[in-house]
Structure 1
Amino acid sequence: MANPPSDRPRHIKCLQVNLHHAKAASDVLCRRFKTELLDVAFIQEPWVFAGAIKGLNDCDELTQQDLAAVWTKVPTQMGEQEVVLASAYLPGDSCEMPTREVIALEEYCRRRKLKLIMSCDANAHHCVWGSSDTNSRGESFLEFITKNNLFILNRGNEPTFVNAIRGEVLDLTISSTSLSTFISNWHVSNEVSMSDHRHIRFDIEAQRVTNHVYRNPRKTNWELFRLHIEREVNGSTAPISSVYEL
């Protein structure tokens, strides 16, 4: 989901959360999305009723059951970057890690030389991204990330998943390594999410492309310049005794 673009130069403000199919969690997300003027929300397990996503009026149809991806252009200090923004859910009971959909997405971006930012509920543990331990799913996912030159944006070990009995880091934000320098302010939010997954906030460092006005001496019309000088100087009685007065 996305807010309409505005004309003010700023970062692209992103939020990531697994809604756990909860209506209340969807309401909290929508309120925060509008009041904080966020730009992009990466969500997993949305509230679904009668086969349709509810509570998110700006949400397009999912690309696939556990993966949604959009292609866009992001203006940065290095010029416009073609970026795929994706949200993925990796089921904990799946024997595939990562899923075929995520592998296909990475291959798609690599073939077309597109940058990738993917938020995911990985349902995987690894101490590299702050989990309390490491399991086989985490090892497989880290191997995939490393092999494909992706970058883990998570910072610290603040739990992203919290229920009555435990807290754990299960949610990851991943990007192409070349794009990682444009991601800032990644943190787990203290906002109440009404889900067992907490909100994750980060910014994409974007800027508006502006046209700079300047003079090019090589293209100066010197004849016109002299004509203007003559018109201004002729008839002037002011004494000129310095460069400043001139």
Structure 2
Amino acid sequence: MADISATVIATKVMQANLNHCAAAQDLLVASAARWMVDLIVIAEPYSIPPSAVSSRCSSAVILAPSRLPGTSFERLAAGEGWAAARWGELTVVSCYISPGHKRPVFERILGAIRSFVAQCRTPKILVLGDFNSKSVDWGCPEDSVRGRILRTWVEGSGLRVLNRGSEPTCVRAQGTSIVDVTFATPDVAATVSGWRVMDEETLSDHRYIAFDLRPPSSRVPPRHTHPSSSPRWALKRLDRDALRAAIAAAVWDPDADQDSCPDTESEAAALRDVATNISDACMPRTGAAPPNRRSVYWWSTEIEDLRNACLRARHRYAELRRPFQGGVAVGAGMSAETEMALRAEYRDAREALSGAIGKTKFRAWEEFILTLDQDP
């Protein structure tokens, strides 16, 4: 089995909740391929991908789309709302606990995971998922009953919270929350860098979480980083309104933890992500895709543009819905009509993106069938 130091260098991990949405799952697969993600942990998938490890009720999934040399991926256990897999020397647990579950069910699921973790012979354990629990320990303004229970469970299981800052992981019209949480044993926590909530359109109420795993002493750059992969943008097509909205969305959150990045390298990576997201939101990229970037068979420039348009609409809606920004009233005077118009704009953009994905996949599949018919 591969040594953990070799396994986790430049390993990219993504965490997502898809709300049982087909288009959201398609978009996640495309994003993971484009960003060359090695490990994906999913709550509420639309369907179970081939070779994935899933819970008994199929609400929690673990997928390793990129098989690193010498790294095994195998199912270890599965229960109600959780699944566990071995990935190299790392034990990964995916969990989803519905907000509709009563306290006894909530505690029973946590108890099963805790028993599994206690029986693991490795100190290298990663637990990720949507627990629908709120606690100040992972950035919420206050604790919920389930949050207090989960915090006690985390302490008793010997895990650490990896969440940083107070950026919402779930954004709905009714409000925002931080319910998607990442836990790890101390051995794994020491290898984590760049934990962040990504500013990307997901077609789900939940946002992607991403981070890297590598030894803390390693100075090796991420495996997928290449000098030629530095993006460039078409400055002449800059949307200044979208730029202002993207910057406002990025800098908002006066209560964010200013020391959330554990080292200079992680802080630089986080700043680079913010700058990239702002640029993507207000102008298209230019030039060919980097040679090491992958894409799914149905991805197109049209879908890329629709996703960027969706992100811009979300930024405009989010900016004006915030009553305060840095202590200054921003959206407090917004009329109900304006809010409804911005919400409708964002909804229409999401529907356009979702529809385009479905049509493009269908068209690509038909073209593939035609090539089979033509094959002698």
TM-score using structure 2 length: 0.47
2:110–2:153 CA contact under 8 A, matched in 1 = no
* Whole-angstrom distance in 2 between the partners of 1:18 and 1:156: 19
1:184: Cα distance to partner?
Answer: 1.1
Matched, 1:87 2:94: yes
Higher mean C-alpha deviation, range 107-116 or range 127-136: 107-116
Could you tell me which amino acid in structure 1 is paired with residue 177 of structure 2?
A: E
Pick the aligned partner of 1:167 from 176, 181, 201: 176
Pick the aligned partner of 1:96 from 104, 113, 116: 104
2:16–2:41 CA contact under 8 A, matched in 1 = yes
Q: Could you say which structure has the larger radius of gyration?
A: 1
Pick the aligned partner of 1:180 from 174, 189, 192: 189
With over 3 angstroms needed to count, the CA separation of the structure-2 counterparts of 1:32 and 1:91, relative to structure 1, is same
* Whole-angstrom distance in 2 between the partners of 1:104 and 1:26: 28
Specify the SS of the correspondent of 1:107: helix
With over 3 angstroms needed to count, the CA separation of the structure-2 counterparts of 1:136 and 1:43, relative to structure 1, is same
Specify the SS of the correspondent of 1:37: coil
TM-score using structure 1 length: 0.70
> Which of 1 and 2 has higher RCO (CA within 8 Å, sep 6+)?
1
| Aligned twin of 2:162 | 153
Alignment of 1:85-164 (within 5 A): 85-94=92-101, 95-96=103-104, 98-114=106-122, 115-164=124-173
Say which structure is richer in helix. Answer: 2
Matched, 1:22 2:21: yes
Alignment root-mean-square deviation, CA: 2.2
2:168–2:178 CA contact under 8 A, matched in 1 = yes
Specify the SS of the correspondent of 2:52: coil
1:130–1:169 CA contact under 8 A, matched in 2 = yes
Paired residues, what number?
187
> Percent of counterpart pairs with the same letter?
27
* Whole-angstrom distance in 2 between the partners of 1:17 and 1:61: 14
Pick the aligned partner of 2:87 from 49, 72, 88: 72
Structure 2 residue runs without a partner (length 5+): 1-5, 56-77, 219-376
1:61: Cα distance to partner?
Answer: 4.5
1:178: Cα distance to partner?
Answer: 2.7
Matched, 1:203 2:212: yes
1:101: Cα distance to partner?
Answer: 3.6
| Aligned twin of 1:42 | 41
Higher mean C-alpha deviation, range 99-108 or range 137-146: 99-108
